[in-house]
Amino acid sequence: MAPWLTYIPIVLAALVLVPQSSPRVVDKGLLVSGFHETRGAPPKTSARREAGWEVFKPAWKSSSNRSFFSAAFDANPFAVAGLDADDLVLDPSNALETEFKIPGYLKSRVAFWIRVYSQYNSQVRIVHDRNRIDLVYGIIDLRPLHRELGNTVVFDIRANALERTVLRQLKTLILNASSGRPLSSTDPDMAELRTLLSRFGALNPLEGQRLVRDLRTQTGQRDMFLQALHRSKELLPHIESVLRQNGLPITLGRIPFVESSFNVRAQSKIGAVGIWQFTPETAREWIAKDEERFWSDPIRQTRSAARLLRGYRAMLPDWSTAVTSYNSGIGRIRRLTQKHRSNSIEPLIAARENGGLGFAGKNFFAEVMAATLVEAYKEQLFGAHMLPDKDSEMALQAVPTPDRCER
């Protein structure tokens, strides 16, 4: 019997267990580096809730995003540390190098990624706006489903179906809440959601359409980050030594947290390998022309990455643009900084333009800074939880390496 035939009973069982709604065409989500993005026309408005909505924990039930994040889980690392992500971006222990202090325009983005890396594991998906990243609608909590089904095909099918169900209903709520029409007294979610949207000036039909288009989910990475911390213990001293030898700040040594979770055997769908995720073309030019066995060597990669980053910094105004070039390409960043006459990444993040940065490019530097802070404050944030829990170990048995190139 062909091996693929063994999956038919699993898939059929999953389809039976998935909450069903009326037939409709649903766009496939785009999975990139642990996140999903929805596309397509907004649905028709309806106040009816479908089965599956119960896995969604709305942020608008709290008085603020800060209180929502603080209360979202019983095991809250910020409660243990006596800090919130918004506090951590202020670097209370002065752990960041001077050139990498978090500027005001970047604080909300860095705080978002701090929560992704330290608070939510890979069975939790944060629902937010792709442009106003601090506009968080809530979380989809798939942990009970994962404890029931484990790391299986059935879990993946049901989890993605539940996400589509939540997003479909959330789109309806957003359209109704932003429409300006009188609200139904039988639907308390509408009034509370409208209050949330009002904080972002999003109470008109055109803005509601945009919010629906920009709805996005981000999978938590706490379990992946804990694994990365363990992998980085032996490598970081050597990486920092190479960076110092090249006259570079050691903060750059945290880029592999974002690129590969410090997995030396990491390989992306586009063929990038190692902790610094060198593509074959770059590895051939910067590491060894014909010796593929050296391409993923972490120290050889670090030496080459140091030369690349030193060159990027020489051509660009600051480290925010130089680090972003590692993701988006030096040519693009030089063109955009010249176009916007910019001394930092700030106007490139704010711009919505053809040929500009995509989501990955706009967030890469913020992700690196969030990883730097989480690593610097790991004892306060994780404490006795430094070792991954059983759910995390199960989830990481076959974690794919994200494609961190621009998209």
Answer yes or no: do 232 and 216 share one domain.
no
How far is residue 241's CA from residue 144's CA, in Å, rounded to a whole number?
44
Q: Is residue 3 a part of any domain in this protein?
A: no
* Of 372, 369, 318, residue with least CA distance to 348: 318
Question: Which of 220, 254, 272 corresponds to the end of one domain?
Answer: 220
How far is residue 321's CA from residue 113's CA, in Å, rounded to a whole number?
18
Adjacent-strand bridge partners of 56: 140
Q: Is residue 9 a part of any domain in this protein?
A: no
Q: Is residue 92 a part of any domain in this protein?
A: no
Answer yes or no: do 183 and 297 share one domain.
no
Question: Which of 204, 220, 236 corresponds to the end of one domain?
Answer: 220
Answer yes or no: do 44 and 59 share one domain.
yes
Give the torsion through C-alpha atoms of 106, 62, 35, 221, to 10 deg.
80
Q: How many domains does the chain have?
A: 2
Answer yes or no: do 212 and 269 share one domain.
no
3-state secondary structure the chain: CCHHHHHHHHHHHHHHHCCCCCCCCCCCCEEECCEEECCCCCCCCCCCCCCCHHHEEEHHHCCCHHHHHHHCCCCCHHHHHCCCHHHHCCCCCCCCCHHHCCCHHHHHHHHHHHHHHHCCCCCEEEEEECCCCCCEEEEEECHHHHHHHCCCHHHHHHHHHHHHHHHHHHHHHHHHHCCCCCCCCCCHHHHHHHHHHHCCCCCCHHHHHHHHHCEEEEECCHHHHHHHHHHHHHHHHHHHHHHHHCCCCHHHHHHHHHHHCCCCCCECCCCCECCCCECHHHHHHHCCCCCHHHCCCHHHHHHHHHHHHHHHHHHCCCHHHHHHHHHHCHHHHHHHHHHHCCCCCHHHHHCCCCCCCCHHHHHHHHHHHHHHHHHHCHHHHHHHHHCCCHHHHHHCCCCCCCCCCCC
Would you state the pLDDT for residue 34? Answer: 45
Answer yes or no: do 191 and 313 share one domain.
no
Q: Is residue 192 a part of any domain in this protein?
A: yes
Q: Is residue 385 a part of any domain in this protein?
A: yes
Q: Is residue 106 a part of any domain in this protein?
A: no
Is the distance from CB of 320 to CB of 100 less than 8 angstroms? Answer: no
Answer yes or no: do 237 and 196 share one domain.
no
pTM to 2 decimal places? 0.82
Q: Is residue 32 a part of any domain in this protein?
A: yes
Answer yes or no: do 345 and 324 share one domain.
yes
Answer yes or no: do 247 and 144 share one domain.
no
Is the distance from CB of 311 to CB of 328 less than 8 angstroms? Answer: no
Answer yes or no: do 355 and 277 share one domain.
yes
Question: Which of 190, 220, 250 corresponds to the end of one domain?
Answer: 220
**CATH number, position 298:** 1.10.530.10
Answer yes or no: do 301 and 326 share one domain.
yes
* Of 197, 146, 190, residue with least CA distance to 172: 190
- Containing domain of residue 325, as a range? 227-395
* Of 335, 307, 333, residue with least CA distance to 322: 333
Angle between helix 359-376 and 107-118 (nearest 10):
60
* Of 102, 70, 96, residue with least CA distance to 83: 70
* Of 121, 130, 128, 139, residue with least CA distance to 55: 139
- 43: tokens are 């649905």
Q: Is residue 40 a part of any domain in this protein?
A: yes
Dihedral sign, Cα of residue 359, residue 362, residue 367, residue 370: negative
Answer yes or no: do 299 and 209 share one domain.
no
How far is residue 294's CA from residue 302's CA, in Å, rounded to a whole number?
12
Give the mean pLDDT per block of 10 residues along the chain (407 residues). 51 46 32 42 51 91 60 54 84 96 97 96 96 95 95 95 96 91 76 91 92 97 94 95 97 97 88 86 75 80 94 97 96 96 96 93 98 95 66 40 44
* Distance set, CA 326 to CA 252, 305, 332, 407 (Å): 11, 9, 11, 14
Answer yes or no: do 310 and 329 share one domain.
yes
Angle at 222 between CA 386 and CA 61, to 5 degrees: 120
